[in-house]
Structure 1
């Protein structure tokens, strides 16, 4: 008989020196983490073809169209009426009308991004990724909210400001230019409140919904049906209630500040329009936080 083979010695583990070196790059303080989330939000919005880009193009088309109206009105009407002292009124009239159109791409941005983003993160389990790192819930909320404010500002602030500056450039005298320059703070006020309301409300619906489809359905129902019905009842019963609809509130604020009226249509008082945008935006912010 042959002797059994001797047992093989166990292989011993070998530790390889991987050349570990302590991280020497930039260390961000926790208070700036919301910047990263904001940039990620903007990158997500710009990533595909249908989330943001068509609505930015739509806002640009609206701006160019209203600018053409301003230019044509200046050359064909204002030049004839400026001697009677009503020239600047024609230049300012086109700007508040533009908000009727700007709210369309703004609503589409709320549908493709705003009302879906937080519910999407919850549905896909992204919160595990976020909060496994030193990211506070406040950082997440602040990053998403700031990013959405930037997106809506491209609609409600960029276009109207360009139109206001363009109307100043169309004037022929220094006095008319100074008069037109007064439209700039009005445009800033309308755009700021509109951006605030249109950014926060969809995010609030998204934060409270368990799934993205539910958030989109509830937000669309609120904006298209509930707010419109309340606004129509306000037109019949109590005019300030008409400002419950965000679009109607922005339109009323613009018409009141620019002292322009549509034939046969009554707008909500200025205080009701401002109050509606502020209160709904503040309530939505509280719901998100």
Structure 2
């Protein structure tokens, strides 16, 4: 019988005996990492240029609106209108941020590493989605807060004026949340379909911009019903229709006109927005269940 030739060397590795934080902390870490990724925090200077350029633009616009209002003493733009006016910029923000959140992981093949841990398959996309929703809401809500502070410090009505401004601000923040939910759910779903960030970004922009001509075509047909329902065909006008219905004068002050001409179909727009977000989230979860099963 031959003697064993192998030797086991003890080089000092020890088992981990620290706390196991569990699912909630894993989800929180994914969420915080995603939020930092959107704004380029902890990454190279190049990764910070676009997101912070967008942040600077929307903040500068809000500061300009506040300055003009303080000079003329009239509301130049409501908080909800601010979200509407920045929607085109938010599209490009989502087109850059969503691929950074999910396409990079698909391309680099790190998802099996995530799912090799005790991480429920749905937590990964939900954490990424929540991070993108939070980022868009901060992008729109932060400048609204700047507008509020400017109005609060220049009001001549005392605390009553500050309270009135707060009552106008809160629906504006909720409206910004609607923009964030719709844009993030669509953007992340499209980005999850490919590992190539350029293709993902192009697909996101196409979904938002190529639906606009459809709205234009339907809105000029000789049918009032079709005209009023035409704005369901584009995510941007869909959100605008919900705002027109739900916010009324808070979106478009009385006597100024404007808003999305949806007639009496406001509830239809509200239900459509909820169903759109729910469908995108369901498809996103299904997508990652299939990825995990490979």
TM-score (norm 2): 0.76
* CA distance, structure 1, for counterparts of residue 271 and residue 214 of structure 2: 16
Residue aligned with 2:122, SS: helix
Residue 267 in structure 1 maps to residue 260 in structure 2: yes
Conserved 8 A contact 1:141-1:288: yes
Per-residue Cα deviation, 1:252-272 (whole angstroms, up to 9, x for no partner): 526733333797755144545
Residue of structure 2 aligned with 1:42, choices 35, 49, 55: 35
Q: CA 1:51–1:239 in 2, change beyond 3 Å: closer, same or farther?
A: farther
Conserved 8 A contact 2:69-2:75: yes
Residue aligned with 1:64, SS: helix
Conserved 8 A contact 1:197-1:281: yes
Residue of structure 2 aligned with 1:64, choices 60, 64, 67: 60
Residue of structure 2 aligned with 1:222, choices 198, 207, 223: 207
1:247 corresponding residue in structure 2 = 236
Structure 1 vs Structure 2 CA RMSD: 3.1
Q: Cα distance, 1:215 vs. partner?
A: 3.1
Residue aligned with 2:204, SS: helix
Conserved 8 A contact 2:129-2:188: yes
User: Aligned pair count?
Assistant: 268
Per-residue Cα deviation, 1:240-261 (whole angstroms, up to 9, x for no partner): 4325433334445267333337
Residue 137 in structure 1 maps to residue 111 in structure 2: no
5+ residue gaps in structure 2? 221-225, 286-294
Q: CA 1:189–1:128 in 2, change beyond 3 Å: closer, same or farther?
A: same
Per-residue Cα deviation, 1:35-83 (whole angstroms, up to 9, x for no partner): 222233234331244555433333333333333333333333x2xxxxx
Residue 105 in structure 1 maps to residue 89 in structure 2: yes
Question: Which of 17-26 and 271-280 deviates more?
Answer: 271-280
* CA distance, structure 2, for counterparts of residue 10 and residue 94 of structure 1: 86
* CA distance, structure 2, for counterparts of residue 219 and residue 132 of structure 1: 30
* CA distance, structure 2, for counterparts of residue 262 and residue 61 of structure 1: 29
Correspondences of 1:78-89 after superposition (within 5 Å): 78=73
Conserved 8 A contact 1:193-1:278: no
* CA distance, structure 1, for counterparts of residue 60 and residue 202 of structure 2: 32
Q: Cα distance, 1:276 vs. partner?
A: 4.4
2:215 corresponding residue in structure 1 = 231
Residue 287 in structure 1 maps to residue 283 in structure 2: yes
Q: CA 1:163–1:276 in 2, change beyond 3 Å: closer, same or farther?
A: farther
Conserved 8 A contact 2:102-2:188: yes
Residue aligned with 1:16, SS: coil
Residue aligned with 1:19, SS: coil
Residue aligned with 1:91, SS: coil
TM-score (norm 1): 0.77
* CA distance, structure 2, for counterparts of residue 56 and residue 262 of structure 1: 36
